[in-house]
Every structure is written in C-alpha cells, then in structure tokens.
Amino acid sequence: MPEHSTPGSKEYPSKTGRTAQVLLLAGLIALCCLIEVVLQLADREIGITAPLRRMTYDYYGFWPGLLKDWQPNFTAQPYTMFFTYSFLHGGLTHLAVNMMTLWSLGRAVMDRVGAWGFSLLYTGAILGGALGFALLASNLRPMVGASGALFGLAGALLAWAYVDRYTYREGLWPVARAILGLAALNLVMWWAMDGQLAWETHLGGFVAGWIMALVVDPRPQKSEDA
C-alpha cells in the first residue's frame, strides 16, 4: 500500500522499486508463457508424447463439477483450482492477448500501489473470477485463463478513477463509459465465440478488483503533478 505525504499527493517509486515491479510482472508473464510453450510442444509431440494439455486441464483447470459431486484427481483440487486455472491458457492467441493486457494494466496498477499492492489485487481478482464462474456458470464446462484477473485489474483502475474524480468533483462519465465499453466487449466476444466466453469469470474478477482497490488504496490521488 502506498504512503502519501498529504491527501491527493502522488509518489513515484525508486529505481529499485521500479525494478522489482518489472521483475514481478515479467516473471508472472514468463511463467504463463512457459506453461503454454510446454503444452504446445506436447500438442505437437515434440519431445513429449503424453496428452499433457488434457492432463494439465484435468488437474489444474477450474471444473465447476468438483464443487458438486465429481471425484477430484487429488484431495485439494477443489480448492487449488480457484488459483491454478489462471496460469493456463487455451492456445497461443489466448495467451498473447492476455499477456499483452497484463503488461499494460499491471504497470498501471503498480504505478498506483506498487508490487505488493498489485500482488494483493491480482490474487484477489483470480479468486473473485473463479467465484464468479462457480456461482454463475450455467454448465459444467472447464475454465482456464488469466482474463478474470485482468478484468480485476481493470476494475481496480476504474475504482480509483471513480474515487479520484468524485473527490475532486470531476465528471464520472469517463468511468461509466469505460464500464459500458467492457460490458459491450464481453457481449461481442460472447457472440463471436458462440457463447464459449467465460463472462462469469470476467464479472467476478472485475467486482473483486474494484473492492480490493478500495481496500488496498482507498484515498484519492490527483493526477500527475497535483
């Protein structure tokens, strides 16, 4: 959580702090990329002949059925899947879009709350996305991907924008417009993907990110040189 010398001030990280932020974000992206690269090699039977992607999804994807009467592959799976699903992706395109978005949104969040604040927000959004899928998904299809956490980061940035603009009596339409834009994006993607979009995860992550933002850094900040 950042420290403020006076309400509305904005602190900038030291060179060491900035390096730690970049390493954390790069490490998270590298981990997701490494997992997908290994799965791609297995898909093409390059050095790996086992059906590794299916096995990985079976063990580490999010399966709503495990919250009902399905038999888990290991005892803790109904709990660990609330976290592990976010490091898996459905292919290179899915991975690339999510990782580019993570780099952009992650840096913006870290500018506000640093590496620790980002870690808390990202973890909370991962869990919130899983909870949203668990509560709202209408079928038992599996779910993988970091997009729930990414919508959490977007929710956090919009929550701060709301607090800042409300405090300093600026118009709230830019915040509302961004939220409507995210909703429209989900609707278009849901249609383009024939209903296979896990919008429930996006919604859960967004709500969790918004709430976590107000816990991690509830005080308003003026932009730039204020």
Task: Tell me the catalytic residues.
Answer: 147, 202
From the number of C-beta atoms within 10 Å of its C-beta (0-12, 13-18, 19+), residue 126 rates as buried
Taking the C-alpha atoms of residue 224 and residue 80, their distance in angstroms, rounded to an integer, is 40
Helix axes 52-60, 77-84, angle to 10 degrees: 110
CA angle 214, 85, 117 (to 5 degrees): 25
From the number of C-beta atoms within 10 Å of its C-beta (0-12, 13-18, 19+), residue 129 rates as buried
Phi, psi dihedral angles at 143 (to 5 degrees): -135, 135
Contact between 168 and 220 (Cβ < 8 Å): yes
Q: Which residues, in sequence order, are CB contacts of 195 under 8 Å at separation 6+?
A: none
Reading the block at residue 184, the tokens are: 């429209």
